Amino acid sequence: MQLRFLSSEVGSGLRRNVSMAVSVVLVTMVSMFLLGLGLLAQRQADTMKGYWYDRIQVSIYLCTVDSLQPNCESQAVTEAQRDALRAQLEELPEVKQVFYESEQEAYDRFKEQFRNSPVAGNVQVGDIPQSLRVQLDDPTKFKNVTTQFENAPGVAVVQDQEKVLSKFFSIITAITVFAVALAALMAACAALLMATTIRQAAFIRRREIGIMRLVGASNWTIRMPFIVEMLIVSVVGAGLAVGLLAGLTKYVFTEGASKIALSQAFIGVSDVWLLAPWIVGGVVLIAVATSLVTLRRYLRV
């Protein structure tokens, strides 16, 4: 097949079906944008997990005279109990480091973290008990620590950050699943729209197709312009989706959220470029498969 003939047929087909071609571009763009958004959300969750799991601590709050926990029996932890707890923690293979935080240090940290919140004025020194903060070598083994010290003498509450973070990550995962499911629905709509576009284009060019059959043109000669048309409009849609994702990542994450939350780990535009080949490849696969199935059925008529 001559390249000039193919380009002429493709150009003619796109001009005759401008509105349908634009529709395919837009639907493909939206579906791939949603798919990319879901994949980037999951990548952000994985990035945050890696960031926070390196910083997860198990906080062992010690008893005070005002503690209501049955294990405390309204008695404050003694210095001997505190030293014994710290020594036991440091002997555990899962423990990387143990930090002691006094009531004054806990108060100062709370005032710094909530300096812009009205709740900061309601907290006094002693309201937050002294604690032992445990940093683990492997954050996934936090239960090995919590189960051993929950009812130890002098311990009021054992709290691990993983419980809070796991809920947050579960929410992100749910959002990701929803976005990917919606993207799959949109991709199905794009495939149906591609099929409709091909059928309409084939109907408009039915006389040309009939003449090509009479002169002995092969099925591939007839099919190729339609396939190339769908590849062009679908790849344009995928390219626009990648551009939107790159812009969103750059201005919302890299230049937006990362400047507000300086201590957080965010994805970057490089993550979009890693996803781009898969997005474009998926669109190409959908376009080719849809074109072949539709044209094969049409050529049998």
pLDDT of residue 193 exceeding 80, the answer is no
pLDDT computed for residue 26 by the predictor = 85
In this structure, the answer to whether residues 292 and 233 fall within a common structural domain is: yes
- Tell me the mean pLDDT in the region 1-28: 69
Res. 186 pLDDT band, cuts 50 70 90: confident
Residue position matching structure tokens 């579906």: 31
Three-state DSSP class for 132?
Answer: strand
Residue position matching structure tokens 């097949």: 1
In this structure, the answer to whether residues 66 and 114 fall within a common structural domain is: yes
- Tell me the mean pLDDT in the region 149-177: 74
In this structure, the answer to whether residues 283 and 214 fall within a common structural domain is: yes
Percent of the chain topping pLDDT 70: 69
pLDDT computed for residue 263 by the predictor = 45
Of 10-14, 74-78, 108-112, 119-123, highest mean pLDDT: 74-78
pLDDT tens-digit map of 47-79: 666 556 555 678 888 888 888 888 887 788 888
pLDDT of residue 114 exceeding 70, the answer is no
pLDDT of residue 98 exceeding 80, the answer is yes
CA–CA dist 69, 80 (Å, integer): 20
pLDDT computed for residue 240 by the predictor = 92
In this structure, the answer to whether residues 288 and 179 fall within a common structural domain is: yes
pLDDT of residue 230 exceeding 60, the answer is yes
Give Cα separations from 4 to 11, 37, 206, 225 (angstroms): 10, 39, 21, 11
CA–CA dist 300, 208 (Å, integer): 16
Instruction: Return the percent helix, strand and coil in the chain, to nearest 5.
Output: 70, 10, 20
Three-state DSSP class for 271?
Answer: helix
Domain boundary among 143, 160, 177: 160
> Which CATH number covers residue 134?
3.30.70.3040
Give Cα separations from 119 to 98, 108, 116, 244 (angstroms): 29, 14, 9, 40
Domain that holds residue 47: 3-52+166-299
pLDDT of residue 256 exceeding 70, the answer is no
pLDDT computed for residue 85 by the predictor = 87
In this structure, the answer to whether residues 287 and 170 fall within a common structural domain is: yes
CA–CA dist 30, 37 (Å, integer): 10
In this structure, the answer to whether residues 172 and 295 fall within a common structural domain is: yes
In this structure, the answer to whether residues 290 and 197 fall within a common structural domain is: yes
Mean pLDDT of the chain: 75
Start-to-end C-alpha separation, the chain: 24
Least confident of 158-167, 224-233, 252-261, 265-274: 252-261
Least confident of 150-164, 225-239, 281-295: 150-164
Number of domains in the chain: 2
In this structure, the answer to whether residues 293 and 172 fall within a common structural domain is: yes
In this structure, the answer to whether residues 198 and 103 fall within a common structural domain is: no
In this structure, the answer to whether residues 78 and 137 fall within a common structural domain is: yes
Domain boundary among 160, 194, 228: 160
Domain boundary among 106, 141, 160: 160
In this structure, the answer to whether residues 32 and 80 fall within a common structural domain is: no
Percent of the chain topping pLDDT 90: 2
Q: What angle do CA 206, 231, 213 make, to 5 degrees?
A: 25
In this structure, the answer to whether residues 234 and 267 fall within a common structural domain is: yes
pLDDT computed for residue 199 by the predictor = 74
pLDDT computed for residue 116 by the predictor = 57
Strand partners, 99: 133
Tell me if 187 sits within 8 A of 286, measured CB to CB: yes
Global pTM value? 0.58
